[in-house]
Structure 1
Amino acid sequence: MGGRVRRAAAAALLGLLLAGCATFPDEGPRQWREQLQGMGELGGPPVVPDPPTPPPAAPPGGQAGQSGQAPPPPTGCTDPDPQVVATCLGPVGAIAVLPDSVTALVAERTTGRILRVRRGVEPELVTTVPVDATGGGGLTGLVLSPSYIEDQLLYAYVTTPQDNRVVRIAPREGPKPVLAGIPRGTTNNAGALAVDVDGSLLVATGDAGNPQPPGLAGKLLRINTLGRPSSGNPVPGSPVLSTGLHSPGGICIDPVTTATWVTDRAGTQDVLHLVVPGPLPPPAWTWPDRPGVAGCMAQPGLIAVAQTGAASLFVLRPNERGVFTGTPETLLTGTYGRLSAAAPAPDGLLWLGTVNKAGGQPVPSDDRVIRIQPPAGGGQSRA
């Protein structure tokens, strides 16, 4: 009898463990739509698993450590905060997290350096991309190839003395242009990159300081990895997916609903757009106080936006129709200073970069890369 009871208890425990594992259907070709359907939800704060390698898992965002107490202040480049992955960097322009979830490639905006970072390990220089950082430009976008595990390729958005462009970076090779000739100007040269669910590159370009931006400026482009227009764009043969951007800070894609969001500094206000083909409709969210929206992360029931000027992380919760519900949250206010780049990791954690050396109040270990557990998603409809 005792043996049967123990076997039944073990089976029940195994069932509970299996029920907690999420599965995701294979993604097919992207179907652009204004209505969001089938959005799931996170059932509560996920338990951060122990990583398979020595670097410790990050505690929940907004907490200073597992005990909830503030860690000691940094000394030089040594930062005891368990959420800090890398220190003493230049202002961070972009982050791309590698498939192991504990290593990332970090782009410094003004130097053009790309470094491999991992907690407890000295940053390793991968390559340096020549950039012109005037007018807010430099190295501001970085993504892994859609087939990175096989080809080890990177794509970056950079400003040169002549233009803004997308370049491809292969191991032990210099950058090669993929899409050049994007207009540059005295301001608003920064751009952002993301990989669409069908493997296309999404490229958000600034308006180069022109209220009527010419050519590919002020647009959201959708191209293949060779720089050619992707099929399904509004105008066949054109790389333009959407128009109406000014100074984009980040692109984020919900991996379940495939909804795409882009942050933008639109002059009189900061905005968050839900991307649709053609001219962008009125923003889904606005910030009249202009907190300096930058990189973002999207997952079911959650959008987290890094804010540079406000030195915080702003959290919105869209429901399954893309309508925001509940009260927005502002997290990490002043904890790490001016937040810029944001990137999701395969394990669901959120990586952030700072730009405190560019207009902030840097501590000895700035600029830094941080790895946190995002807040739980939501997305329930209101009655």
Structure 2
Amino acid sequence: MRRALAAAALGVLLAGCAEFPDSGPREWRDKVEGSGELGGPPLVPTPNPPSPQQPPQSAPGPSGAPQPPSGCVDPDPQVVATCLNPVGAIAVLPDSVTALVAERATGRVLQVRRGVAPVLVTTVPTDTSGGGGLTGLVLSPSYVEDQLLYAYVTTPTDNRVVRIAAGEPPKPVLTGIPRGATNNMGALSVDVDGSLLVATGDAGRPADPASLAGKVLRIDTLGRPARGNPDPASPVLSSGVRAPGGICTDPATTMTWVTDRTATQDVLHLLVPGPLPAPAWTWPDRPGVAGCMAQPGVVTIAQVNAASLFVLRPSDNGAFTGAPETILRGTYGRLWAAALAPDGLLWLGTVNKDGGNPVPADDRVIRIQPPSGGGESRA
């Protein structure tokens, strides 16, 4: 009897004190060359209040409609963070309930989590002219080991990719991407092999094969051309981009998509090596395509001007099937950043303070069930 009581007490103690957030299968990755050389992981406080993996629907007000935000308090349970500056990019951490958010104009990178005040991680010096600023942010392919971040940023002299670690100024990884009077924005993603994908604006200049502007670059984490590029000595994977808003890869099919805005229409490209072919989808009404998310059978695109999400369903060969959907129209305003969390939820960032009609809680970060997840999305 004593042994049974002691075993029961030990079980209660272990259940109350231990959490295993990293349990379950994971993909093995070799450690990235040079990882950890910048002084170790960012020492950012990580609060641990429980948070549901699938947010419930917004709490209704007396009339049955969602309650409006009041100040920096937003009763919508799908809103993770409020009172930010326009959000340029989001990178979701492995726990799926915490994210790093880049503010385009301020250069701030903030750690956000629902119910907890945002925590400043670092500030990246930036220049917002010509549509530039801090417009790309991804976790290192080996983030669990090295805790490094990569950002796409406009400076007074160029556009560049930088690496971020705690207690260190941003370190250049790839510099000399031309900047100009317009189209300085860029986007970042991680390819299925762990290389970095960098979509660069054309800086308002005619296409130049020798320039890094208006391209999709593929580099390793030290800024060197990735293996498998068309020219082994060049970081250029594809050409023909003008003003990219987002780049996203479906890890199952390995198809990569790039949103872009031309002089006459918005477009979605299926990424291929070399010059990009005709767009896979076009929007003559120019809704302002921005960040994107790709999963098997679905590509979701944030739209700034249309203040909505646009959903397309590609087949395995990249052709689209069925009718497209438009969801979240006007629910949160102008949507820009989009990122898929490890748990399958979609994170979005708004830019209502930049040309929109902001509510008191703007700008905001939202976490929703994506269209392909089987749950209900707010239309």
1:274 matches 2:270: yes
Worse-matched range after superposition: 170-179 or 155-164: 170-179
- Segments of structure 2 that go 5 or more residues without pairing to the other structure are 1-23, 31-47, 375-379
**Deviations 1:76-116 (Å, cap 9, x if unpaired)?**
00000010000000000000000000000000000000000
1: CA distance, partners of 2:60 / 2:175: 46
Larger RCO, structure (CA 8 Å, separation 6 or more): 1
How large is the Cα RMSD of the aligned pairs? 2.2
Q: SS at 1:233's partner residue?
A: coil
Instruction: Determine if contact 2:59/2:67 at 8 Å carries over to the other structure.
Output: no
Give the structure-2-normalised TM-score: 0.84
1: CA distance, partners of 2:343 / 2:64: 25
1:94 matches 2:89: yes
**201, 211, 220: which one aligns with 2:206:** 211
1:366 matches 2:362: yes
Give 1:27 shift. 9.5
Q: SS at 1:82's partner residue?
A: coil
Give 1:53 shift. 4.8
Q: What one-letter code is carried by the residue in structure 2 that aligns with 1:268?
A: T
2: CA distance, partners of 1:299 / 1:247: 23
Instruction: Determine if contact 1:302/1:377 at 8 Å carries over to the other structure.
Output: no
Give 1:69 shift. 5.1
Instruction: Determine if contact 2:102/2:134 at 8 Å carries over to the other structure.
Output: yes
Give 1:217 shift. 0.0
**58, 70, 73: which one aligns with 2:68:** 73
Q: What one-letter code is carried by the residue in structure 1 that aligns with 2:135?
A: T
**Deviations 1:264-296 (Å, cap 9, x if unpaired)?**
011101000000000001010000100000000
1:251 matches 2:247: yes
Q: Which residue in 2 is equivalent to 1:181?
A: 176
2: CA distance, partners of 1:220 / 1:285: 18
**101, 104, 107: which one aligns with 1:106:** 101
Q: What one-letter code is carried by the residue in structure 1 that aligns with 2:333?
A: G
Give 1:375 shift. 1.1
Q: Which residue in 2 is equivalent to 1:116?
A: 111
Give 1:57 shift. 3.6
1:230 matches 2:226: yes
Instruction: Determine if contact 2:238/2:271 at 8 Å carries over to the other structure.
Output: yes
- Segments of structure 1 that go 5 or more residues without pairing to the other structure are 1-21, 29-51, 379-383
Q: What one-letter code is carried by the residue in structure 1 that aligns with 2:299?
A: I
1:352 matches 2:351: no
Instruction: Determine if contact 2:216/2:241 at 8 Å carries over to the other structure.
Output: yes
1:167 matches 2:167: no
Query: For the structure 1 residues 123 and 116, does the alpha-carbon distance in structure 2 shift closer, same or farther, using more than 3 Å as the test?
Result: same
Q: SS at 1:189's partner residue?
A: coil
Q: Which residue in 1 is equivalent to 2:284?
A: 288
Equivalent runs, 1:52-63 vs 2, <5 Å: 53-59=49-55
Q: SS at 1:80's partner residue?
A: coil
2: CA distance, partners of 1:330 / 1:317: 12
Query: For the structure 1 residues 288 and 327, does the alpha-carbon distance in structure 2 shift closer, same or farther, using more than 3 Å as the test?
Result: same
Query: For the structure 1 residues 338 and 298, does the alpha-carbon distance in structure 2 shift closer, same or farther, using more than 3 Å as the test?
Result: same
